[in-house]
Structure 1
Protein backbone atom coordinates (compact mmCIF):
# COMPACT_ATOMS: atom_id res chain seq x y z
CA UNK A 1 0.00 0.00 0.00
CA UNK A 2 1.24 3.51 -0.83
CA UNK A 3 2.10 5.87 1.97
CA UNK A 4 0.28 9.18 2.25
CA UNK A 5 3.41 10.98 1.09
CA UNK A 6 3.73 8.74 -1.97
CA UNK A 7 0.11 9.38 -2.90
CA UNK A 8 0.61 13.13 -2.58
CA UNK A 9 3.75 12.98 -4.72
CA UNK A 10 1.84 11.07 -7.38
CA UNK A 11 -1.00 13.60 -7.30
CA UNK A 12 1.24 16.62 -7.71
CA UNK A 13 1.99 17.47 -4.09
CA UNK A 14 -1.49 18.07 -2.69
CA UNK A 15 -4.89 16.39 -2.47
CA UNK A 16 -8.23 16.43 -0.74
CA UNK A 17 -8.45 14.44 2.47
CA UNK A 18 -11.20 12.24 1.00
CA UNK A 19 -8.94 11.20 -1.88
CA UNK A 20 -6.09 10.37 0.49
CA UNK A 21 -8.25 8.38 2.85
CA UNK A 22 -9.71 6.44 -0.06
CA UNK A 23 -6.31 4.93 -0.94
CA UNK A 24 -4.71 4.93 2.52
CA UNK A 25 -6.69 5.45 5.75
CA UNK A 26 -7.67 8.17 8.20
CA UNK A 27 -5.19 6.76 10.69
CA UNK A 28 -2.37 6.87 8.14
CA UNK A 29 -3.20 10.47 7.25
CA UNK A 30 -3.30 11.55 10.90
CA UNK A 31 0.00 9.80 11.60
CA UNK A 32 1.67 11.41 8.54
CA UNK A 33 0.57 14.86 9.73
CA UNK A 34 1.83 14.17 13.25
CA UNK A 35 5.23 13.06 11.93
CA UNK A 36 5.50 16.14 9.73
CA UNK A 37 5.49 14.12 6.51
CA UNK A 38 2.33 15.92 5.43
CA UNK A 39 0.98 19.39 6.14
CA UNK A 40 -2.60 20.61 6.42
CA UNK A 41 -3.02 23.44 3.91
CA UNK A 42 -6.68 24.20 4.47
CA UNK A 43 -9.74 22.44 5.81
CA UNK A 44 -9.86 19.05 4.12
CA UNK A 45 -6.75 19.75 2.00
CA UNK A 46 -3.28 18.33 2.62
CA UNK A 47 0.07 18.67 0.91
CA UNK A 48 3.72 17.78 1.06
CA UNK A 49 6.00 19.99 3.15
CA UNK A 50 7.69 22.59 0.98
CA UNK A 51 4.77 22.89 -1.43
CA UNK A 52 5.18 26.04 -3.52
CA UNK A 53 3.88 29.01 -1.52
CA UNK A 54 1.75 30.39 -4.38
CA UNK A 55 0.09 27.02 -4.97
CA UNK A 56 -0.54 26.59 -1.26
CA UNK A 57 -2.17 30.03 -1.21
CA UNK A 58 -4.43 29.13 -4.14
CA UNK A 59 -5.49 25.93 -2.39
CA UNK A 60 -6.07 27.73 0.91
CA UNK A 61 -8.43 30.17 -0.85
CA UNK A 62 -9.96 27.30 -2.86
CA UNK A 63 -9.12 29.13 -6.06
CA UNK A 64 -6.61 28.86 -8.90
CA UNK A 65 -3.38 30.67 -9.70
CA UNK A 66 -4.03 33.27 -12.38
CA UNK A 67 -2.68 36.37 -14.10
CA UNK A 68 1.06 36.88 -13.51
CA UNK A 69 1.19 34.11 -10.89
CA UNK A 70 -0.05 31.61 -13.47
CA UNK A 71 2.38 33.11 -15.99
CA UNK A 72 5.24 32.31 -13.62
CA UNK A 73 4.05 28.71 -13.34
CA UNK A 74 3.81 28.47 -17.12
CA UNK A 75 7.37 29.91 -17.25
CA UNK A 76 6.33 32.93 -19.24
CA UNK A 77 8.64 35.95 -18.91
CA UNK A 78 7.76 38.73 -16.46
CA UNK A 79 9.50 42.03 -15.90
CA UNK A 80 8.61 41.94 -12.20
CA UNK A 81 7.31 38.91 -10.28
CA UNK A 82 4.00 39.50 -8.47
CA UNK A 83 4.37 40.78 -4.92
CA UNK A 84 1.39 38.67 -3.85
CA UNK A 85 -0.14 35.65 -5.58
CA UNK A 86 -2.97 36.37 -8.00
CA UNK A 87 -5.82 33.98 -7.26
CA UNK A 88 -9.05 33.64 -9.22
CA UNK A 89 -12.13 32.30 -7.45
CA UNK A 90 -15.34 30.99 -9.01
CA UNK A 91 -17.91 33.75 -9.49
CA UNK A 92 -20.22 32.20 -6.88
CA UNK A 93 -17.51 31.92 -4.22
CA UNK A 94 -17.09 34.42 -1.41
CA UNK A 95 -13.63 35.36 -0.24
CA UNK A 96 -12.50 33.68 2.93
CA UNK A 97 -9.63 34.10 5.32
CA UNK A 98 -6.32 32.96 3.92
CA UNK A 99 -2.76 34.01 3.12
CA UNK A 100 -2.29 37.46 1.48
CA UNK A 101 -3.34 37.39 -2.18
CA UNK A 102 -4.81 39.49 -4.98
CA UNK A 103 -8.25 38.00 -5.55
CA UNK A 104 -10.21 37.93 -8.81
CA UNK A 105 -13.52 36.30 -9.72
CA UNK A 106 -14.41 34.52 -12.98
CA UNK A 107 -16.03 31.40 -14.40
CA UNK A 108 -13.48 28.62 -14.00
CA UNK A 109 -13.54 25.47 -16.14
CA UNK A 110 -13.05 22.09 -14.54
CA UNK A 111 -9.55 21.76 -16.01
CA UNK A 112 -8.34 24.94 -14.32
CA UNK A 113 -9.83 23.85 -11.01
CA UNK A 114 -8.10 20.49 -11.27
CA UNK A 115 -4.64 21.91 -12.00
CA UNK A 116 -5.12 24.94 -9.72
CA UNK A 117 -3.96 27.32 -12.45
CA UNK A 118 -5.56 29.02 -15.42
CA UNK A 119 -4.97 27.62 -18.88
CA UNK A 120 -2.15 29.04 -20.96
CA UNK A 121 -4.60 30.96 -23.16
CA UNK A 122 -6.54 32.34 -20.21
CA UNK A 123 -3.28 33.33 -18.51
CA UNK A 124 -2.22 35.41 -21.52
CA UNK A 125 -5.57 37.19 -21.61
CA UNK A 126 -5.52 37.85 -17.87
CA UNK A 127 -2.00 39.26 -18.09
CA UNK A 128 -3.19 41.56 -20.87
CA UNK A 129 -5.79 42.92 -18.46
CA UNK A 130 -3.29 44.05 -15.83
CA UNK A 131 0.11 44.51 -17.53
CA UNK A 132 1.33 47.37 -19.72
CA UNK A 133 1.35 46.65 -23.44
CA UNK A 134 5.03 45.72 -23.71
CA UNK A 135 5.02 43.29 -20.80
CA UNK A 136 1.76 41.74 -21.96
CA UNK A 137 3.18 41.34 -25.46
CA UNK A 138 6.24 39.54 -24.08
CA UNK A 139 3.93 37.10 -22.25
CA UNK A 140 1.85 36.52 -25.39
CA UNK A 141 4.91 36.06 -27.63
CA UNK A 142 6.34 33.46 -25.26
CA UNK A 143 3.02 31.61 -25.06
CA UNK A 144 2.74 31.45 -28.86
CA UNK A 145 6.33 30.22 -29.06
CA UNK A 146 5.36 27.13 -27.03
CA UNK A 147 3.06 26.02 -29.85
CA UNK A 148 0.27 25.33 -27.35
CA UNK A 149 -1.64 28.46 -28.36
CA UNK A 150 -2.07 29.89 -31.86
CA UNK A 151 -2.50 33.51 -32.81
CA UNK A 152 -5.95 32.73 -34.22
CA UNK A 153 -6.98 31.26 -30.88
CA UNK A 154 -5.58 34.23 -29.02
CA UNK A 155 -7.34 36.72 -31.31
CA UNK A 156 -10.66 34.88 -31.11
CA UNK A 157 -10.48 34.72 -27.32
CA UNK A 158 -9.58 38.41 -27.05
CA UNK A 159 -12.56 39.36 -29.19
CA UNK A 160 -14.93 37.55 -26.83
CA UNK A 161 -13.50 39.30 -23.76
CA UNK A 162 -15.41 41.98 -21.93
CA UNK A 163 -14.62 44.46 -19.24
CA UNK A 164 -11.35 45.93 -18.05
CA UNK A 165 -8.30 45.26 -20.22
CA UNK A 166 -10.09 44.19 -23.39
CA UNK A 167 -8.55 46.94 -25.61
CA UNK A 168 -5.05 45.99 -24.49
CA UNK A 169 -5.75 42.30 -25.04
CA UNK A 170 -7.02 42.96 -28.57
CA UNK A 171 -3.95 45.06 -29.34
CA UNK A 172 -1.60 42.40 -27.98
CA UNK A 173 -3.33 39.60 -29.88
CA UNK A 174 -3.09 41.55 -33.14
CA UNK A 175 0.71 41.84 -33.07
CA UNK A 176 1.87 38.88 -30.97
CA UNK A 177 4.14 36.41 -32.75
CA UNK A 178 5.66 33.01 -32.15
CA UNK A 179 8.89 34.16 -33.80
CA UNK A 180 10.14 36.34 -30.94
CA UNK A 181 13.03 34.65 -29.15
CA UNK A 182 13.37 36.60 -25.92
CA UNK A 183 11.61 38.81 -23.42
CA UNK A 184 13.92 41.71 -24.29
CA UNK A 185 13.26 41.33 -28.02
CA UNK A 186 9.50 41.53 -27.37
CA UNK A 187 9.94 44.59 -25.18
CA UNK A 188 12.08 46.28 -27.85
CA UNK A 189 9.46 45.51 -30.49
CA UNK A 190 6.73 46.91 -28.27
CA UNK A 191 8.57 50.24 -28.06
CA UNK A 192 8.60 50.47 -31.85
CA UNK A 193 4.94 49.55 -32.13
CA UNK A 194 3.84 52.06 -29.50
CA UNK A 195 5.87 54.78 -31.22
CA UNK A 196 4.35 53.95 -34.60
CA UNK A 197 7.70 52.87 -36.08
CA UNK A 198 6.82 50.19 -38.60
CA UNK A 199 8.82 48.02 -40.94
CA UNK A 200 10.70 45.95 -38.36
CA UNK A 201 10.08 42.20 -38.44
CA UNK A 202 11.16 39.67 -35.82
CA UNK A 203 13.89 37.15 -36.61
CA UNK A 204 14.73 38.32 -40.12
CA UNK A 205 17.13 36.17 -42.16
CA UNK A 206 19.87 38.10 -43.93
CA UNK A 207 22.09 36.61 -46.62
CA UNK A 208 25.65 37.90 -46.35
CA UNK A 209 28.63 37.14 -48.54
CA UNK A 210 29.41 33.79 -46.93
CA UNK A 211 26.45 32.85 -44.75
CA UNK A 212 22.84 33.40 -43.77
CA UNK A 213 22.24 34.96 -40.36
CA UNK A 214 19.25 36.05 -38.32
CA UNK A 215 18.73 39.40 -36.62
CA UNK A 216 16.30 40.00 -33.76
CA UNK A 217 14.41 42.76 -35.57
CA UNK A 218 15.09 43.69 -39.16
CA UNK A 219 13.95 46.52 -41.43
CA UNK A 220 14.55 45.01 -44.88
CA UNK A 221 13.83 48.20 -46.81
CA UNK A 222 16.42 50.25 -44.96
CA UNK A 223 18.76 47.39 -44.00
CA UNK A 224 18.66 48.16 -40.30
CA UNK A 225 19.09 45.38 -37.77
CA UNK A 226 18.17 45.77 -34.11
CA UNK A 227 19.70 43.35 -31.63
CA UNK A 228 18.34 42.93 -28.09
CA UNK A 229 21.36 42.15 -25.94
CA UNK A 230 20.57 40.39 -22.67
CA UNK A 231 22.77 39.82 -19.63
CA UNK A 232 24.59 36.89 -21.20
CA UNK A 233 28.32 37.01 -21.80
CA UNK A 234 29.84 35.57 -24.96
CA UNK A 235 30.72 32.47 -22.97
CA UNK A 236 33.87 31.49 -24.84
CA UNK A 237 36.49 32.84 -27.19
CA UNK A 238 34.92 30.85 -30.02
CA UNK A 239 31.47 32.35 -29.44
CA UNK A 240 32.92 35.84 -29.14
CA UNK A 241 34.71 35.36 -32.46
CA UNK A 242 31.51 34.05 -34.07
CA UNK A 243 29.54 37.06 -32.80
CA UNK A 244 32.15 39.45 -34.18
CA UNK A 245 32.15 37.67 -37.54
CA UNK A 246 28.37 37.79 -37.70
CA UNK A 247 28.37 41.52 -36.96
CA UNK A 248 31.11 42.24 -39.51
CA UNK A 249 29.35 40.26 -42.23
CA UNK A 250 26.10 42.17 -41.66
CA UNK A 251 27.93 45.48 -41.93
CA UNK A 252 29.81 44.34 -45.03
CA UNK A 253 26.48 43.36 -46.58
CA UNK A 254 25.28 46.93 -46.13
CA UNK A 255 23.30 46.55 -42.92
CA UNK A 256 23.38 49.02 -40.05
CA UNK A 257 23.37 47.09 -36.76
CA UNK A 258 22.12 48.70 -33.55
CA UNK A 259 22.57 46.76 -30.32
CA UNK A 260 20.45 47.62 -27.28
CA UNK A 261 20.94 46.34 -23.76
CA UNK A 262 18.35 45.44 -21.15
CA UNK A 263 19.13 48.61 -19.20
CA UNK A 264 18.57 50.75 -22.29
CA UNK A 265 15.33 49.12 -23.46
CA UNK A 266 13.76 49.05 -19.99
CA UNK A 267 15.37 52.11 -18.44
CA UNK A 268 15.83 54.56 -21.33
CA UNK A 269 13.21 53.80 -24.01
CA UNK A 270 13.13 57.37 -25.32
CA UNK A 271 16.82 57.21 -26.18
CA UNK A 272 16.31 53.83 -27.87
CA UNK A 273 13.50 55.21 -30.04
CA UNK A 274 15.43 58.38 -30.88
CA UNK A 275 18.42 56.27 -31.92
CA UNK A 276 16.30 54.06 -34.17
CA UNK A 277 14.55 57.03 -35.76
CA UNK A 278 17.88 58.79 -36.31
CA UNK A 279 19.34 55.69 -37.92
CA UNK A 280 16.35 55.31 -40.21
CA UNK A 281 16.52 58.99 -41.24
CA UNK A 282 20.08 58.41 -42.43
CA UNK A 283 19.21 55.27 -44.37
CA UNK A 284 16.65 56.60 -46.83
CA UNK A 285 16.86 55.02 -50.28
CA UNK A 286 19.30 52.30 -49.25
CA UNK A 287 18.61 49.50 -51.78
CA UNK A 288 16.98 46.28 -50.59
CA UNK A 289 19.14 43.15 -50.62
CA UNK A 290 16.28 41.13 -52.08
Structure 2
Protein backbone atom coordinates (compact mmCIF):
# COMPACT_ATOMS: atom_id res chain seq x y z
CA UNK A 1 0.00 0.00 0.00
CA UNK A 2 1.31 3.49 -0.85
CA UNK A 3 1.75 6.34 1.63
CA UNK A 4 -1.18 8.22 0.07
CA UNK A 5 -3.36 5.14 0.34
CA UNK A 6 -2.61 4.88 4.06
CA UNK A 7 -3.39 8.56 4.54
CA UNK A 8 -6.67 8.34 2.66
CA UNK A 9 -7.72 5.21 4.49
CA UNK A 10 -6.74 6.44 7.95
CA UNK A 11 -7.97 10.06 8.02
CA UNK A 12 -4.46 11.44 7.45
CA UNK A 13 -2.81 9.26 10.10
CA UNK A 14 0.17 7.01 9.43
CA UNK A 15 2.72 5.12 11.50
CA UNK A 16 6.45 5.01 10.92
CA UNK A 17 6.22 1.29 10.24
CA UNK A 18 3.51 1.83 7.63
CA UNK A 19 5.49 4.59 5.94
CA UNK A 20 8.58 2.39 5.73
CA UNK A 21 6.54 -0.55 4.44
CA UNK A 22 5.31 1.81 1.70
CA UNK A 23 8.89 2.47 0.62
CA UNK A 24 9.99 5.51 2.62
CA UNK A 25 13.37 5.33 4.29
CA UNK A 26 13.95 6.31 7.90
CA UNK A 27 15.58 9.54 6.71
CA UNK A 28 12.63 10.32 4.45
CA UNK A 29 10.24 9.99 7.39
CA UNK A 30 12.49 12.20 9.53
CA UNK A 31 12.60 14.87 6.79
CA UNK A 32 8.80 14.99 6.71
CA UNK A 33 8.80 15.52 10.45
CA UNK A 34 11.57 18.15 10.31
CA UNK A 35 9.73 20.12 7.64
CA UNK A 36 6.40 19.68 9.44
CA UNK A 37 4.81 17.85 6.57
CA UNK A 38 3.95 15.34 9.26
CA UNK A 39 3.47 16.03 12.95
CA UNK A 40 3.61 13.50 15.79
CA UNK A 41 0.39 12.52 17.54
CA UNK A 42 1.95 9.69 19.52
CA UNK A 43 5.38 8.06 19.37
CA UNK A 44 5.83 6.78 15.80
CA UNK A 45 2.30 7.88 14.82
CA UNK A 46 1.87 11.00 12.68
CA UNK A 47 -0.74 13.26 11.10
CA UNK A 48 0.01 14.54 7.60
CA UNK A 49 -0.24 18.25 6.80
CA UNK A 50 -3.50 19.14 5.10
CA UNK A 51 -5.49 16.81 7.33
CA UNK A 52 -7.45 18.05 10.34
CA UNK A 53 -7.17 16.27 13.67
CA UNK A 54 -10.71 14.94 13.57
CA UNK A 55 -12.26 12.55 16.06
CA UNK A 56 -11.69 9.76 13.56
CA UNK A 57 -8.01 10.70 13.31
CA UNK A 58 -7.67 10.81 17.12
CA UNK A 59 -9.24 7.41 17.52
CA UNK A 60 -7.24 5.81 14.73
CA UNK A 61 -4.02 7.31 16.08
CA UNK A 62 -4.66 5.91 19.57
CA UNK A 63 -5.29 2.40 18.26
CA UNK A 64 -2.28 2.52 15.94
CA UNK A 65 -0.03 3.72 18.77
CA UNK A 66 -1.23 0.94 21.08
CA UNK A 67 -0.01 -1.75 18.69
CA UNK A 68 -1.03 -4.24 16.07
CA UNK A 69 -3.40 -6.26 18.29
CA UNK A 70 -4.89 -3.29 20.14
CA UNK A 71 -8.69 -3.23 20.39
CA UNK A 72 -10.73 -0.04 20.54
CA UNK A 73 -12.97 -0.20 23.64
CA UNK A 74 -15.58 1.52 25.77
CA UNK A 75 -17.33 4.71 24.69
CA UNK A 76 -14.84 5.20 21.85
CA UNK A 77 -15.86 1.80 20.45
CA UNK A 78 -19.53 2.73 20.89
CA UNK A 79 -18.91 5.88 18.85
CA UNK A 80 -17.11 3.88 16.16
CA UNK A 81 -20.07 1.48 16.02
CA UNK A 82 -22.42 4.45 15.60
CA UNK A 83 -24.05 4.03 19.01
CA UNK A 84 -22.72 7.24 20.64
CA UNK A 85 -23.19 10.75 19.31
CA UNK A 86 -19.63 11.95 19.95
CA UNK A 87 -16.21 10.49 20.52
CA UNK A 88 -14.86 10.72 24.07
CA UNK A 89 -11.88 12.94 24.87
CA UNK A 90 -10.03 9.91 26.21
CA UNK A 91 -9.88 6.93 23.83
CA UNK A 92 -10.04 3.51 25.44
CA UNK A 93 -7.93 0.68 24.02
CA UNK A 94 -7.41 -2.89 25.19
CA UNK A 95 -4.06 -4.63 24.76
CA UNK A 96 -2.72 -8.05 25.67
CA UNK A 97 -1.47 -8.61 29.20
CA UNK A 98 1.94 -9.32 27.68
CA UNK A 99 2.24 -5.70 26.56
CA UNK A 100 2.99 -2.74 28.81
CA UNK A 101 2.64 0.49 26.80
CA UNK A 102 3.46 3.62 28.76
CA UNK A 103 0.83 6.25 29.60
CA UNK A 104 -0.25 8.63 26.86
CA UNK A 105 -2.43 11.77 27.12
CA UNK A 106 -5.86 11.12 25.68
CA UNK A 107 -5.53 7.33 25.75
CA UNK A 108 -6.71 4.90 28.44
CA UNK A 109 -5.01 1.52 28.14
CA UNK A 110 -6.41 -1.63 29.70
CA UNK A 111 -4.42 -4.88 29.73
CA UNK A 112 -6.50 -8.04 29.35
CA UNK A 113 -7.19 -10.91 26.97
CA UNK A 114 -10.40 -10.76 24.94
CA UNK A 115 -12.40 -13.73 23.73
CA UNK A 116 -12.61 -13.86 19.90
CA UNK A 117 -16.39 -13.47 20.27
CA UNK A 118 -15.78 -10.04 21.81
CA UNK A 119 -13.71 -8.72 18.89
CA UNK A 120 -14.93 -7.09 15.69
CA UNK A 121 -13.47 -5.00 12.86
CA UNK A 122 -15.01 -1.98 11.20
CA UNK A 123 -13.44 0.42 8.71
CA UNK A 124 -10.00 -0.97 9.34
CA UNK A 125 -10.13 -0.69 13.14
CA UNK A 126 -10.30 -3.70 15.47
CA UNK A 127 -12.76 -2.98 18.26
CA UNK A 128 -14.91 -4.73 20.83
CA UNK A 129 -18.03 -6.38 19.41
CA UNK A 130 -21.30 -4.60 19.98
CA UNK A 131 -22.55 -6.57 23.03
CA UNK A 132 -19.36 -6.03 25.05
CA UNK A 133 -19.08 -2.46 23.75
CA UNK A 134 -22.56 -1.64 25.05
CA UNK A 135 -21.77 -3.10 28.46
CA UNK A 136 -18.38 -1.42 28.87
CA UNK A 137 -19.61 1.92 27.55
CA UNK A 138 -22.52 1.84 30.01
CA UNK A 139 -20.05 1.37 32.88
CA UNK A 140 -17.73 4.08 31.55
CA UNK A 141 -20.59 6.58 31.22
CA UNK A 142 -21.39 6.38 34.94
CA UNK A 143 -24.65 8.12 35.82
CA UNK A 144 -25.97 8.06 32.25
CA UNK A 145 -24.87 4.49 31.60
CA UNK A 146 -28.26 2.97 32.37
CA UNK A 147 -29.97 5.19 29.81
CA UNK A 148 -27.34 4.26 27.22
CA UNK A 149 -27.80 0.54 27.93
CA UNK A 150 -31.58 0.89 27.72
CA UNK A 151 -31.34 2.68 24.36
CA UNK A 152 -28.88 0.10 23.06
CA UNK A 153 -31.21 -2.77 24.01
CA UNK A 154 -33.98 -1.05 22.08
CA UNK A 155 -31.96 -0.40 18.95
CA UNK A 156 -28.69 -2.29 18.54
CA UNK A 157 -28.24 -5.41 20.67
CA UNK A 158 -30.25 -8.17 22.30
CA UNK A 159 -30.15 -8.83 26.04
CA UNK A 160 -28.93 -12.47 25.78
CA UNK A 161 -25.91 -11.36 23.71
CA UNK A 162 -25.02 -8.65 26.24
CA UNK A 163 -25.44 -11.09 29.11
CA UNK A 164 -23.19 -13.62 27.33
CA UNK A 165 -20.51 -10.94 26.91
CA UNK A 166 -20.82 -10.14 30.61
CA UNK A 167 -20.32 -13.82 31.52
CA UNK A 168 -17.23 -14.09 29.31
CA UNK A 169 -15.68 -11.10 31.08
CA UNK A 170 -16.54 -11.77 34.72
CA UNK A 171 -13.87 -10.36 37.00
CA UNK A 172 -12.76 -7.68 34.56
CA UNK A 173 -12.59 -4.07 35.70
CA UNK A 174 -16.14 -2.71 35.96
CA UNK A 175 -17.86 -6.10 35.88
CA UNK A 176 -19.52 -5.54 39.27
CA UNK A 177 -21.15 -2.34 38.02
CA UNK A 178 -22.05 -4.06 34.76
CA UNK A 179 -23.75 -6.84 36.71
CA UNK A 180 -25.91 -4.34 38.62
CA UNK A 181 -26.95 -2.66 35.38
CA UNK A 182 -27.91 -6.01 33.87
CA UNK A 183 -29.96 -6.96 36.92
CA UNK A 184 -31.87 -3.69 36.62
CA UNK A 185 -32.29 -4.13 32.87
CA UNK A 186 -33.52 -7.71 33.18
CA UNK A 187 -36.54 -6.83 35.35
CA UNK A 188 -39.51 -6.87 32.98
CA UNK A 189 -41.78 -4.69 35.13
CA UNK A 190 -41.72 -1.25 36.69
CA UNK A 191 -41.96 -2.79 40.17
CA UNK A 192 -38.28 -2.32 40.97
CA UNK A 193 -38.45 1.36 40.06
CA UNK A 194 -41.66 1.80 42.07
CA UNK A 195 -40.08 0.27 45.17
CA UNK A 196 -37.03 2.47 44.68
CA UNK A 197 -39.14 5.64 44.58
CA UNK A 198 -41.05 4.51 47.69
CA UNK A 199 -37.75 4.07 49.55
CA UNK A 200 -36.59 7.50 48.41
CA UNK A 201 -39.81 9.13 49.60
CA UNK A 202 -39.52 7.47 53.00
CA UNK A 203 -35.84 8.38 53.34
CA UNK A 204 -36.66 12.03 52.57
CA UNK A 205 -39.43 12.05 55.19
CA UNK A 206 -42.12 12.82 52.61
CA UNK A 207 -45.61 11.80 53.74
CA UNK A 208 -49.14 11.86 52.40
CA UNK A 209 -48.58 9.31 49.62
CA UNK A 210 -49.92 5.84 48.92
CA UNK A 211 -48.57 3.08 46.71
CA UNK A 212 -51.01 1.24 44.44
CA UNK A 213 -53.79 3.79 44.99
CA UNK A 214 -57.08 3.11 43.18
CA UNK A 215 -58.77 6.07 41.51
CA UNK A 216 -61.36 6.25 38.76
CA UNK A 217 -60.99 2.63 37.82
CA UNK A 218 -57.18 2.80 37.62
CA UNK A 219 -54.34 1.86 39.97
CA UNK A 220 -51.83 4.70 40.38
CA UNK A 221 -48.26 3.63 41.11
CA UNK A 222 -47.78 6.26 43.82
CA UNK A 223 -50.43 8.85 44.62
CA UNK A 224 -50.81 11.90 46.83
CA UNK A 225 -54.64 11.68 47.15
CA UNK A 226 -55.15 14.97 49.02
CA UNK A 227 -53.27 16.89 46.33
CA UNK A 228 -54.49 14.66 43.48
CA UNK A 229 -50.92 14.21 42.25
CA UNK A 230 -50.23 10.87 40.56
CA UNK A 231 -46.72 9.48 40.08
CA UNK A 232 -46.34 6.93 37.30
CA UNK A 233 -43.09 4.96 37.29
CA UNK A 234 -41.75 3.20 34.21
CA UNK A 235 -39.18 0.45 34.02
CA UNK A 236 -36.64 0.17 31.22
CA UNK A 237 -37.93 1.31 27.82
CA UNK A 238 -36.64 -1.78 25.98
CA UNK A 239 -39.33 -3.83 27.76
CA UNK A 240 -42.12 -1.50 26.63
CA UNK A 241 -44.21 -2.82 23.77
CA UNK A 242 -46.62 -0.72 21.70
CA UNK A 243 -49.72 -2.14 23.36
CA UNK A 244 -48.51 -1.39 26.87
CA UNK A 245 -47.39 2.10 25.88
CA UNK A 246 -50.86 2.75 24.49
CA UNK A 247 -52.52 1.57 27.71
CA UNK A 248 -50.30 3.83 29.78
CA UNK A 249 -51.16 6.85 27.64
CA UNK A 250 -54.88 6.16 27.88
CA UNK A 251 -54.66 5.76 31.65
CA UNK A 252 -52.69 9.00 32.00
CA UNK A 253 -55.18 10.92 29.85
CA UNK A 254 -58.10 9.56 31.90
CA UNK A 255 -56.45 10.60 35.17
CA UNK A 256 -55.85 14.10 33.83
CA UNK A 257 -59.52 14.38 32.83
CA UNK A 258 -60.42 13.40 36.41
CA UNK A 259 -58.38 16.30 37.76
CA UNK A 260 -55.13 14.54 38.61
CA UNK A 261 -51.70 16.03 37.93
CA UNK A 262 -49.59 13.21 36.52
CA UNK A 263 -45.80 13.06 36.83
CA UNK A 264 -43.95 10.30 35.01
CA UNK A 265 -40.46 9.03 35.89
CA UNK A 266 -38.19 6.22 34.74
CA UNK A 267 -35.69 4.04 36.54
CA UNK A 268 -32.99 6.24 35.03
CA UNK A 269 -34.54 9.36 36.55
CA UNK A 270 -34.66 7.75 39.98
CA UNK A 271 -31.06 6.57 39.88
CA UNK A 272 -29.53 9.45 37.91
CA UNK A 273 -31.27 12.49 39.43
CA UNK A 274 -33.16 11.43 42.56
CA UNK A 275 -32.97 14.84 44.28
CA UNK A 276 -34.48 16.56 41.26
CA UNK A 277 -37.29 14.00 41.12
CA UNK A 278 -38.17 14.49 44.79
CA UNK A 279 -38.01 18.28 44.43
CA UNK A 280 -40.38 18.16 41.45
CA UNK A 281 -42.82 15.95 43.33
CA UNK A 282 -42.80 18.21 46.40
CA UNK A 283 -43.31 21.28 44.19
CA UNK A 284 -46.33 19.78 42.43
CA UNK A 285 -47.88 18.60 45.71
CA UNK A 286 -47.35 22.00 47.35
CA UNK A 287 -48.75 23.82 44.31
CA UNK A 288 -51.83 21.58 44.21
CA UNK A 289 -52.48 21.96 47.94
CA UNK A 290 -52.14 25.75 47.74
CA UNK A 291 -54.56 25.92 44.81
CA UNK A 292 -57.19 23.97 46.72
CA UNK A 293 -57.16 26.28 49.75
TM superposition score category, shorter chain reference: 0.5 to 0.7
Aligned: 1:91 with 2:97: yes
How far is the alpha carbon of 1:40 from its aligned partner? 4.5
Partner of 2:135: 125
Using the alignment, how far apart are the partners of 2:169 and 2:195 within structure 1? Answer: 23
SS at match of 2:104: coil
The answer for the alignment partner of 1:238 in structure 2 is none
1:116 and 1:61 mapped to 2: Cα distance? 12
Work out whether 1:270 is the aligned partner of 2:275. yes
| Partner secondary structure for residue 167 of structure 1 | helix
* Aligned residue runs from structure 1 range 5-84, under 5 A: 5-11=4-10, 13-22=12-21, 24-26=22-24, 30=29, 36=36, 38-42=38-42, 44-48=44-48, 49=51, 50-52=53-55, 53-62=58-67, 63-76=70-83, 84=90
Counterpart CA distance in 2 for 1:26 and 1:135 is 47
1:145 aligns with 2:154: yes
How does the TM-score come out when normalised to structure 2?
0.54
**Bigger Rg over Cα:** 2
- Secondary structure at the aligned position of 2:169 is classed as coil
Greater helix share, 1 or 2?
A: 2
Q: Distance in 2 between matches of 1:82 and 1:10?
A: 22
Displacement of 1:56:
2.5
Q: Which residue of the other structure, out of 234, 242, 249, is the alignment partner of 1:200?
A: 234
Count of residues in correspondence between the two structures: 230
d(CA) in 2 for partners of 1:190, 1:120: 27
The two structures have a TM-score, normalised by structure 1, of 0.55
Give the gaps of 5 or more residues in structure 1.
178-188, 208-212, 225-247, 280-290
Q: Structure 2 stretches of 5 or more lacking a match? A: 200-220, 222-232, 285-293
**For residues 166 and 75 of structure 1, do their structure 2 counterparts lie closer, same or farther at Cα, with a shift above 3 Å needed?**
same
